[in-house]
Amino acid sequence: MKIIKTCLSAVISSVLIFSPMAYADKWSDQFPHIKATGDIPGDCSYEEISKKNYKGKTLKINTHAVPVIGQPTALHAEQFAKLTGATVDVTHTPAGDLYAKAMVPFKAGQAPYDIVFGFSNFINDWRQYLAPVPKKYMNSTEMKDVTKSHVGVSSWDGTMYQYPVDGDRHYLKYRKDVIDNPEMQKKYKADTGKELKVPTTWKEYGEMAKYFNGWDWDGDGEKEYGSAEVMKKDDLMFAAFFSRSVAYAKNPRTPGGFFFDLETMKPNINNPGFVEALTDWVEATKYVPPGGINFGLGDEIGSFGGGQTLFSFSWDDAFIAAMQDDSPIKNKVGAAPLPGSDKVWNRVSGKWENKYNQAPYIVWGWAVGVAKKSKVQEMAFDYLCFFSNGANHQADLAIGNFGVNPFKNSDFDPNLYIDTMGWDPEIANSYTKTLKDMEKSKNRVFPLRVRGVFEFTSAVATGTSKALAGQLSPQEALDEVAKEWEAIVSRVGKKNVQEDYAVGVKMEDNKL
Amino acid sequence: MNFKQKYVFLFPGLFVLIGILIFPIIFVVRLSLSGWNSYNGLNFIGLENYIRLFTDDPRFWQSFFRLSFLSVTTVVLQYVIGFALAHMVWKDIKFQRFFRVLFLIPMMTTPVIMTVIWRTFFHESLGPVNDILSNFGMSPKWLTDPTLAKITVIIVEVWQWTPFMFLLLLAGLLSLPKEPFLAAAIDGASPIRKFIYVTFPLMAPISIGAIIIRLIEASKIMDTVYVLTSGGPGTSTETSSFYIFIKGLREFQMGYAASMSFTYLIIMIISLTFIAKGLTKLLLKD
Amino acid sequence: MNLIAENLLYKPDEQFHLNEVSFNFKKGNIYTILGRTLSGKTTLLKTIAGLLTPDKGAIQFEDKDFLKVPVWERNVAMVYQQFINYPHLNVFDNVAFPLKQRKVDNYEINDVVSKSLKSVGLEGYESRKIQELSGGQQQRVSLARSLVKNAKILLLDEPLVNLDYKLREQLREEFKNIFSQGLSEESIVIFSTTDPREAMELNGEVTVLDEGKVLQVGEAKEIFENPKTLKVAEISNDPPMNILKANIGENKIKFEGIDIDIPQHLSKLTDKNFNLGIRASDIELSDNGFEFEVELAEISGSETLLHLKRGDAKIITSIEEVMNFNIHDKVKINFNTNKFYAFNESGILASSPFGGSYV
Amino acid sequence: MGKLYKFLKYSFITIWTVFVVAPFLWALTTSFKDFNSVNGGATYIPWVDFEPKLEGWKVLIKSPANGGVDIIEPYFNSLFVTCTASLISIVLGTLSAYALSRFTFKAGFVKNNDITFFFISQRIMPPIVLSIPFFLFLGAIDLLDSLIGLIVVYIVLLMPIAVWIMVDFFNKVPREIDETALIDGCNPYQAFFKVVLPNSVPGLIVAGMFCIIFGWIDFFFAFILTFTEVQLLPVKIVALNSSITPWWSLSASALVSVAPLIIVAFIVERYLSKGNLSGAIK
């Protein structure tokens, strides 16, 4: 099948040389990065951008460290410079420092960068310093392809401040070679009396992880473990906790806020739903690899991607790492929606509802904006538009460690992964289906995007990590977080937080 | 000596320092009276930050005591080990130059980078330490046990900064006058007595200086904690400067972070003064 | 034209370093400042050099206000008790330093420096490093350096004190020679010392300093023979003059149960109680003397110093030979009564064997 | 000296040597690994335990568009900023230290020791908070993102160290040396430059070394105060921390960044060996 496709595309492209579409090859000769597709027509295609002349102008960009997002930024900068004659300076900054690196100059009234990369949940703090995406780009062919939820994540109350270049979400990654292995299924059934299948609840997840913890189940001579999770008390940790919380605490029948009760602005964070999730998480410390409660995202990726654990559930990276060409577990992993739960807390009635519940967490991910004070805004938007034009985006998707993930409707075509990346069709299908279903779900949670968001998330990280370390019980830890949240709300001003939070709730309640 | 030229010597340095610092220092004080954060500008909220700090932030004080424990422990260890090493390579030892240079090197590594190496070194499933220890049936939780994590931080700090003590003390030893040692030798003093009654007292002034400056530096312990544990597990390795860092650059509560820093500065100046006096009393008896 | 100081006062901390010091030094002479350690000698020399500025008082030299002249323009030279040289320069450059500073031409420098090195006995050492020299040689270098300048005021701050006995004797002789030939009529030499013998041998005017105060000024002989006060008597003798609380009655001097006939020169004393002074060298062992107990016996060179005690009276005597004593031995001594000094109860010399009196 | 003492001495030195060297050896071997050989568990010997790769080293010179960080320019930037700032700090710090060691200052209750402490106390403030004011300050004088701006800030970081070491050092150089120079006709400046300074080389070397070290290893200010024009080595290396911590390239960079300072260590050791660190005067 694959061979036929390759031959076919070879034939097609050889035909194309002599056709009017020969531009594709003109550009791909010059820019080998897009050799798989050639230029794809669009408002920001190579062809269109090459018509611009930015000679003598300088574009300054702060982006993430190489390679994730950082490398495509630098690569497209190089291409952009070649096409337009502009000078493009790129700085690379570790993820944790991106916020401060841009925020310090913003607050000081400066704009040392024309383009700043960050995360989508910076939007509320940053938007006053960012230029809204102009109409021209909103109507571009490239933008039209972006999924609705990613337009929502990039916008604040209908105005887009962040240019979509990447899509992020949390989903479940599992070892297909174990879960789908009949021998293992038999063994698991014999030992536990339960079916071994892709877990649909966190309880199942925990049981399986515990069962597959601490023994060599893939026969490589090393011990394997249950699950790799972001448990290190850093800036990403709270997201992992929210991913585990949505199943218990996001009730589609109680609109009006997941993190807070929008009306009263009372934190929900210590309600039984969240406490249940944290209890699960504390339990999880028993089936993570040694040192697992000090794992950051990098460790999680390394651990799952390196074949050390059965499960993992945060950003795409671990999955992509596992599917790299040189990975020992290439085509041995599967993607699935986050587990759900058999019960969900109803904060209105104050009771558990014994109904199956599952909710995708549209976690924040890479986002990028153009500084309001930038003197080269047009060039900056052209660059961003160029960054994610059809040809670049498809080529970027194919390179795992670029960190560019699907966010366009056209990205959910399994063939893309089968052809260009050599994925097993079954895996590609489950991957795209998982992502597509998240887009369709009506019971989603969007990231918290109120002002001073880091005070809130940092409090969550501190509280939950105390629970993970056994310093506090889950209830005590979350009570502490709730108290801290209330203090922050009163410091920031209830009205302000409420106003900001309403924007997110509108999306969650599918009203936008 | 007292010539008017003395000002020409002192003032360039002093004024350059003051010139560069006067604005930042005043600004920090002003900042500490504001609610400067991600959404507020440089407003004026009086002593609110300080009230919050003193009445409603046990975490700051916990981190401060943790810091005191960590910095005092590391500095004491650095001093003892540094002195021992300096004394050992002071004279008659083989490969003297080699050891002297070798013992200096850890100080020259950039903490943010070197600590990453240490993190991999102590990595509980992929690092060499537990790989070797597992042969003996041990697998200490270097970074995930609240107590052991503190010890790991101490180990890394000791590794990095013992050379500082070592260098100062070795330089001190090498510049000691010879006469007292001759006298001690004539008296037939044992090596231990010689150390207690001759070497140590002669080294007291330099020791005090070295300890104080190390305390100042150790109190800023931050990169190590950030990279190794991010203050975890829980809050068990969180120090003042790391907490200020979290509040300041992560949560962007700059006003509050400034008030913490200013308070911290005052506490440090006072306690360092006392420590310096105490050490002087302790080590320079006459 | 003289070096005149008036009421110099220097009190940087609780204690006086100089307390109303005045003097009048004339060119062509050697002056000795005699005083114990920390008596203010170095302070005084540094004040003259200009390294210290007194809190009060005035110094005049050649009719100019000397305090307004900075050190480097005063044309003084100074030798310290520590062997101070420039460690980064060799012997020649050390000695040549002040000349180069004055921009004297090289030819002359060579000439003057070799002459000066010769006079201190260091020919052939020109290119040696300072650290390679012995203490005595180092001190000669600094002496040579102070001589090449032809300074108007030469300050020597206990230059011999850190040398061992033999070298000290030798250098002292050389100093005397150098001073007697080398010094022009234009310069003033000021020599400070703790050693009374040194002061006597230099044979110039002596100023006795204690706690920053001038106690007595006079020819060395005069100070020796007629010390103005008890303090001076102590300072100007080595070992210090023995002082005994005594009283007079029935033509006897009485102390600690000892009765001695009053010598001629003390017969006119009017006070009943006084302090009796007697030099260690004026006490001798004698079988029919008074019994004292040995507290300590020190042998120094060819002498023996005996620390003796009787009741509250403690005296030191020197014996011109080496003898062994045990502690608590009883010895008998006699006083050379003609050498008795008498100081009144406030410590002022009442009568000396040489007829002096300040009462 | 007893045999026991000797035994203890050599055991201690051996243990410490192992402790000092271990992380470097670990970094060395790790620098030749890649993602897979790192995540397969701890391995030590190339070819035997794992297949060595040069990726970790290549990353340091590749351009970002090719997935590297290209540390060459930052390397020289770091050297330049560190050396210049150290030099200025040493010059200014040495002058101030000399004044504080030799002359008496008094202004109200402020005396020499207080001024010295003022200098040293500049190092107490946690850098996080100073970063914002420094940012505004450099912004106001238009020196953000420039080598000069960094040098200005580093002077504040380094001068206290220079002052501290040099005050200590000058206190050990007999003041009679300068006095003699003054008496020999030097004014205070000449005395300082012709006599005191030549005899202070060991102190200057040690102070210089500390300045260079503390300048070289600073990350924080370089991070906050530069954007695109100027990049210093530690900032550039830390930017290797993408989502995955690349153990291999960080290991290589740790070794690369410590290399120039080893030369410094040798220089310092030479001066130590000469034993004239205290001024060479009795």
**Domain with C246 in it: what CATH number?**
2.40.50.140
Q: Are residues A388 and A288 in the same domain?
A: no
Query: How many domains in chain C?
Result: 2
pLDDT, position C99: 92
User: Is residue C53 in a domain?
Assistant: yes
Q: How confident is the model over A395-436, as pLDDT tens digits? A: 888 887 788 888 999 888 898 888 877 889 999 999 999 988
pLDDT, position C123: 87
Q: Are residues C213 and C299 in the same domain?
A: no
8 A C-beta contact, residue A404 and residue A117 = no
Q: Are residues C215 and C95 in the same domain?
A: yes
User: Is residue C313 in a domain?
Assistant: yes
Touching subunits of D (3+ CB pairs, under 8 Å) are A, B, C
Q: Is D105 in the C-facing interface, judged by CB distances under 8 Å?
A: no
pLDDT, position A423: 87
Q: Is A97 in the D-facing interface, judged by CB distances under 8 Å?
A: yes
- Report A:203-262 residues touching D (Cβ under 8 A): 220, 222
Query: Does position A2 have pLDDT exceeding 50, yes or no?
Result: no
Q: How confident is the model over C232-246, as pLDDT tens digits? A: 998 888 888 998 888
Q: Are residues A22 and A160 in the same domain?
A: yes
Cβ contact, residue pair A293, B236, below 8 Å: no
Cβ contact, residue pair D176, C80, below 8 Å: yes
8 A C-beta contact, residue A41 and residue A47 = yes
Touching subunits of B (3+ CB pairs, under 8 Å) are A, C, D
Domain that holds residue A237: 172-251+273-353
Cβ contact, residue pair A90, D231, below 8 Å: no
pLDDT, position B129: 92
Chain A residue numbers touching D49 (CB-CB < 8 A): none
Q: Are residues A99 and A182 in the same domain?
A: no
Q: How confident is the model over D151-200, as pLDDT tens digits? A: 999 999 999 999 998 998 888 888 889 899 999 989 999 999 999 988 88
- Report B:36-75 residues touching D (Cβ under 8 A): none
Chain D residue numbers touching B217 (CB-CB < 8 A): 123
Q: Is A90 in the D-facing interface, judged by CB distances under 8 Å?
A: yes
8 A C-beta contact, residue A343 and residue A352 = yes
Chain A residue numbers touching D239 (CB-CB < 8 A): 65-66, 70, 91-94
Q: Are residues C82 and C188 in the same domain?
A: yes
Query: Does position A257 have pLDDT exceeding 80, yes or no?
Result: yes
pLDDT, position A1: 40
DSSP state, residue A389: S
Chain B residue numbers touching A462 (CB-CB < 8 A): 59, 234-235
Residue after which a domain boundary falls, among C192, C227, C262 = C227
pLDDT, position C182: 58
Cβ contact, residue pair C51, D181, below 8 Å: no
Q: Are residues A246 and A392 in the same domain?
A: no
Q: Are residues A381 and A397 in the same domain?
A: yes
H or E element at residue A77: helix A70-84
Q: Using 50, 70 and 90 to split pLDDT, how confident is the model at A25?
A: low
User: What is Dmax (Cα atoms) for chain D?
Assistant: 74
Residue after which a domain boundary falls, among C196, C227, C258 = C227
**Chain D nearest CA to B9, separation (Å):** 5
Q: Are residues C110 and C259 in the same domain?
A: no
With touching defined as 3 or more inter-chain CB pairs under 8 Å, the answer for chains C and A is: no
Q: Are residues A160 and A207 in the same domain?
A: no
pLDDT, position A386: 94
User: Is residue A46 in a domain?
Assistant: yes
Q: Is D185 in the C-facing interface, judged by CB distances under 8 Å?
A: yes
Query: Does position C66 have pLDDT exceeding 50, yes or no?
Result: yes
Cβ contact, residue pair D176, C87, below 8 Å: no
Q: In this structure, what is the dihedral angle of CA atoms B249, B254, B257, B261, given to the nearest 10 degrees?
A: 100
Chain B residue numbers touching A454 (CB-CB < 8 A): 38, 250-252
User: Is residue A511 in a domain?
Assistant: no
User: Is residue A368 in a domain?
Assistant: yes
User: Is residue C338 in a domain?
Assistant: yes
Chain B residue numbers touching A97 (CB-CB < 8 A): 249
Residue after which a domain boundary falls, among C227, C250, C267 = C227
Q: Is B175 in the C-facing interface, judged by CB distances under 8 Å?
A: no
**Chain C nearest CA to B83, separation (Å):** 29
What is the number of residues in chain C?
359
**Chain D nearest CA to C308, separation (Å):** 39
User: Is residue C356 in a domain?
Assistant: no
A223 φ, ψ (degrees, to nearest 5): -75, 145
User: Is residue A402 in a domain?
Assistant: yes
What structural domains and CATH numbers belong to chain B? 58-283 (1.10.3720.10)
Q: How confident is the model over D218-231, as pLDDT tens digits? A: 888 888 898 888 88
Q: Are residues C246 and C329 in the same domain?
A: yes
Chain D residue numbers touching A91 (CB-CB < 8 A): 227-228, 231, 239
Residue contacts between C and D (CB atoms, under 8 Å): 66
pLDDT, position A132: 95
Average model confidence (pLDDT) for chain C? Answer: 86
Q: Are residues C317 and C196 in the same domain?
A: no
* Residues of chain B under the 70 pLDDT cut: 1, 285-286
Q: Are residues C51 and C66 in the same domain?
A: yes
Grouping H, G, I as helix, E, B as strand and the rest as coil, residue D132 is helix
Q: Using 50, 70 and 90 to split pLDDT, how confident is the model at D278?
A: very low
Q: Are residues A60 and A125 in the same domain?
A: yes
Q: Which residue of D has its CA nearest to A326?
A: D36
8 A C-beta contact, residue D194 and residue D268 = no
Q: Are residues C205 and C270 in the same domain?
A: no
pLDDT, position A512: 64
User: Is residue A105 in a domain?
Assistant: yes
What structural domains and CATH numbers belong to chain D? 3-63 (no CATH), 65-274 (1.10.3720.10)
Q: Is B204 in the D-facing interface, judged by CB distances under 8 Å?
A: no
CA angle (C283 as vertex; C280, C287 as ends), nearest 5: 145
**Chain A nearest CA to D91, separation (Å):** 33
Residue after which a domain boundary falls, among A313, A332, A353 = A353
Please identify which residue in the block is written with the tokens 């040189």: A326
pLDDT, position D281: 35
Query: How many domains in chain A?
Result: 2
Distance CA(A194)–CA(A139), nearest Å, equals: 52
CATH number of the CATH domain containing A283:
3.40.190.10
Q: Residue D137 to residues A120, B17, B44, B262: CA-CA distances in angstroms?
A: 30, 14, 20, 19
- Helix ranges restricted to H, D108-146: 112-121, 127-140
Q: Are residues A193 and A304 in the same domain?
A: yes
Q: Which residue of D has its CA nearest to A230?
A: D243
Q: Which residue of A has its CA nearest to D142?
A: A110
Distance CA(A167)–CA(A363), nearest Å, equals: 9
Chain A residue numbers touching D223 (CB-CB < 8 A): 97, 101
pLDDT, position D274: 63
Average model confidence (pLDDT) for chain D? Answer: 87
Q: Which residue of B has its CA nearest to A291?
A: B124
pLDDT, position A441: 87
Q: Are residues A244 and A149 in the same domain?
A: no
Domain that holds residue C303: 232-351
Residue C247's region, left for phi above 0, alpha for psi from -120 to 50, else beta, is: beta
**Chain A nearest CA to B181, separation (Å):** 52
pLDDT, position A16: 42
Grouping H, G, I as helix, E, B as strand and the rest as coil, residue A369 is strand
**Could you write out the DSSP letters of every residue in B213-229?**
HHHHHHTT--HHHHHHT
Cβ contact, residue pair C84, D186, below 8 Å: no
Chain B residue numbers touching D206 (CB-CB < 8 A): 167, 171
Q: Is B3 in the C-facing interface, judged by CB distances under 8 Å?
A: yes
Query: Does position C107 have pLDDT exceeding 80, yes or no?
Result: yes
Q: How confident is the model over C35-51, as pLDDT tens digits? A: 988 888 999 999 999 89
Q: Which residue among A60, A296, A326 sits closest to D227, beta carbon to beta carbon?
A: A60
User: Is residue A422 in a domain?
Assistant: no
User: Is residue C198 in a domain?
Assistant: yes
DSSP state, residue B247: I
Chain B residue numbers touching C53 (CB-CB < 8 A): 2
Q: How confident is the model over A487-507, as pLDDT tens digits? A: 999 988 899 999 999 988 988
Chain B residue numbers touching A292 (CB-CB < 8 A): 124-125, 144
Q: Are residues C283 and C135 in the same domain?
A: no
Query: Does position D243 have pLDDT exceeding 80, yes or no?
Result: no
User: Is residue C347 in a domain?
Assistant: yes
User: Is residue A494 in a domain?
Assistant: no
pLDDT > 90 in chain C, percent: 16
Q: Are residues C192 and C331 in the same domain?
A: no
Average model confidence (pLDDT) for chain A? Answer: 88
Q: Is D120 in the C-facing interface, judged by CB distances under 8 Å?
A: no
Cβ contact, residue pair B2, C70, below 8 Å: no
Cβ contact, residue pair B234, A465, below 8 Å: yes
Q: Are residues A111 and A206 in the same domain?
A: no
Cβ contact, residue pair B117, D30, below 8 Å: yes
- Edge-to-edge strand order for the sheet containing A225-228? A225-228, A309-312, A172-175, A333-336
Chain A residue numbers touching D236 (CB-CB < 8 A): 92
Query: Does position A24 have pLDDT exceeding 60, yes or no?
Result: no
pLDDT, position A20: 39
Global confidence as pTM: 0.86
Chain B residue numbers touching D23 (CB-CB < 8 A): 114, 117-118, 121, 159
Q: In this structure, what is the dihedral angle of CA atoms D94, D99, D101, D105, given to the nearest 10 degrees?
A: -150
User: Is residue C49 in a domain?
Assistant: yes
Q: Is B55 in the A-facing interface, judged by CB distances under 8 Å?
A: no
Q: Are residues C90 and C206 in the same domain?
A: yes
Distance CA(A169)–CA(A364), nearest Å, equals: 7
Q: Which residue among B59, B124, B246 sits closest to A290, beta carbon to beta carbon?
A: B124
CATH number of the CATH domain containing C186:
3.40.50.300
Touching subunits of C (3+ CB pairs, under 8 Å) are B, D
pLDDT > 90 in chain D, percent: 34
DSSP state, residue A337: P
**Chain C nearest CA to B175, separation (Å):** 15
Cβ contact, residue pair A71, D67, below 8 Å: yes
pLDDT, position D273: 67
Query: Does position C161 have pLDDT exceeding 50, yes or no?
Result: yes
Q: What is the mean pLDDT of residues A202-223?
A: 91
Chain B residue numbers touching A125 (CB-CB < 8 A): 38-39, 252
Q: Are residues C148 and C273 in the same domain?
A: no
Cβ contact, residue pair B3, C52, below 8 Å: no
Please identify which residue in the block is written with the tokens 């010539």: B3
Q: What is the mean pLDDT of residues A359-377?
A: 89
What residues form DSSP beta bridges with C156? C79, C191
pLDDT, position C184: 65
pLDDT, position D1: 54
User: Is residue A161 in a domain?
Assistant: yes
Q: Is B2 in the C-facing interface, judged by CB distances under 8 Å?
A: yes
Chain A residue numbers touching D59 (CB-CB < 8 A): 66
